[in-house]
Structure 1
Amino acid sequence: MPQMAPMNWLSLFISFSILLLMINSMNFFSTMNKSPETSTNKINKPTNWKW
Structure 2
Amino acid sequence: MPQMSPMWWSLLFILFLLSYVTMMMNIYFFKEMKKKMNGKGKLPLKDLNWKW
TM-score, normalising length: structure 2:
0.65
Render the CA deviation track for 1:1-51: whole Å, top value 9, x for unaligned: 11000000000000011001001100110111211333xxxxxxxxxxxxx
- How many residues of Structure 1 are paired with residues of Structure 2 in the alignment? 40
List, as ranges, runs of 4+ consecutive aligned residues in structure 1 with deviation greater than 6 Å: none
| Percent identity of equivalent pairs | 34
Where in structure 2 are there 5+ consecutive unaligned residues? 39-52
Query: Highest Rg: 1 or 2?
Result: 1
RMSD: 1.9
Aligned counterparts of 1:26 and 1:36: Cα–Cα separation in 2: 15
Q: Which has the higher contact order (CA 8 A, sep 6+)?
A: 2
